[in-house]
Structure 1
């Protein structure tokens, strides 16, 4: 196993950081690494907003659900799907690009491009001895988040990335068995095998929580997922995206 694979497999989310800010050079290194990610047809349909202002960090921390590590970290990045620049390009070049920009396909390109860039950023940060935590709570209240970030139409904040010097060392959470995730040649649909794999993973996750909490928790992963998915959250998303002139066709 080489160093890169070892780094990838040792990932854990960090939710407590030391009070030490990243340097501008570190920030630039992380962003340039993000930019090196693959991008569909060279579209580069994303933007990254770095938050240094303490008041804005505090506002975002409240908007995502009072998560302290959004306010207290080395640096906070927000990754956005961005097709605004492509509208500008259409104007500059005198081409009708709006139907394409407003399509579901191009919106998906923005989501994928931003996600690939973010993962590059995360790996770069961890390779520098830093810790990271993705923040999906950015989507809890996007109207207010857009006001804080002053994003124009066709720009959707997708998630945050808190980066900093770790002040904790949580255990690595066990992932689903590779046989459950990786299919060869076609999707394997034997329901008995499928559920057996879920049973085995439930036992693994339950043991992880029991050991981590000294017996206070024995959660099953399938129970967690069922309860989480039973709660309907962020159901305004389609309306919000279309209001911002994306995913219309």
Structure 2
């Protein structure tokens, strides 16, 4: 199968219908072919591959050039096993050749302030934390694209927020630093291929001029059918996407321990004023 057919197949997988657009450039094609990879071969992720990905990460936009993020590369098998337990016993965290832990990092700005004998009280505000989260997410997604361009696969790990203080202790994080998510990285296992997951129709997420949810219910109902079919193929719970999504936001008990995130962030040096 040539690359053009792969890209068109990726569009079909995302939306459940053929693309009605001209073929994009190859970068957009690569992005459309993204899938979450949770099974990896035994091939290690070498330092050169990692360095290129971090260069891509540092090429992402960053608010006011503050670069309020850092990333921790974890390869030690015992540490990976402990982080796997802290992030919901996700097997792929323990088995991945490489785990990157993406950090909101205001500690660097505070150290700079100390060195310059200048105040850094602005880092105590919610805006600074938000800047760090956005910066880390933009950087991580650039890295993800770079890894995929080099033939690797990734999956994000939100479970890194289940036990923030314990993760911080495991990784020796200074005050003002927070593990916002992880990213497993490795070469996809050839016998356990990942499948492209469908997404909501563009009509649900793309609004023009003003927000308009008039056509949302019909489009979401169609998406529920596509996702149920996808889940059956994956031999997973085939309940509708709607019911599963709402279940995850029903209340504090559905947040996997993250309902206390504000308290954890306060303990880790984020005042969030």
**What TM-score do the two structures reach when normalised by structure 1?**
0.93
CA drift at 1:42? 0.1
Change (3 A) 1:56 1:183: same
Partner deviation per Cα, 1:189-246 (whole Å, 9 max, x = no partner): 43xx221121121122123233444xx7532110111222222431110011122222
Partner deviation per Cα, 1:44-102 (whole Å, 9 max, x = no partner): 0000000122211111111112212112122110000000010011112222112x101
1:128-147 alignment runs, 5 A limit? 128-147=150-169
CA drift at 1:27? 1.2
Query: Does the aligned pair in 2 maintain the 1:19–1:72 contact within 8 Å?
Result: no
Equivalent residue for 1:207?
A: 229
1:63-78 alignment runs, 5 A limit? 63-78=86-101
- Using the alignment, how far apart are the partners of 1:242 and 1:217 within structure 2? 37
Alignment match of 1:223 (pick from 221, 229, 243): 243
Equivalent residue for 1:52?
A: 75
Equivalent residue for 1:28?
A: 51
Query: Does the aligned pair in 2 maintain the 1:81–1:110 contact within 8 Å?
Result: yes
Query: Which moves more between the two structures, 13-22 or 238-247?
Result: 238-247
Which blocks of at least 5 consecutive residues in structure 2 are unaligned?
1-23
Equivalent residue for 2:112?
A: 89
Equivalent residue for 2:267?
A: 243
CA drift at 1:105? 0.5
**What TM-score do the two structures reach when normalised by structure 2?**
0.85
- Using the alignment, how far apart are the partners of 1:169 and 1:232 within structure 2? 29
CA drift at 1:170? 2.0
Q: Following superposition, which runs of at least 4 residues in structure 1 exceed 6 angstroms of deviation?
A: none
Structure 2 counterpart SS, 1:236? helix
- Using the alignment, how far apart are the partners of 2:83 and 2:70 within structure 1? 18
Alignment match of 1:187 (pick from 211, 215, 237): 211
Query: Does the aligned pair in 1 maintain the 2:104–2:132 contact within 8 Å?
Result: yes
Which blocks of at least 5 consecutive residues in structure 1 are unaligned?
none
1:142-153 alignment runs, 5 A limit? 142-153=164-175
Equivalent residue for 1:169?
A: 193
Residue correspondences, number: 244
- Using the alignment, how far apart are the partners of 2:174 and 2:80 within structure 1? 20
Structure 1 counterpart SS, 2:259? coil
Change (3 A) 1:154 1:4: same
Equivalent residue for 2:202?
A: 178
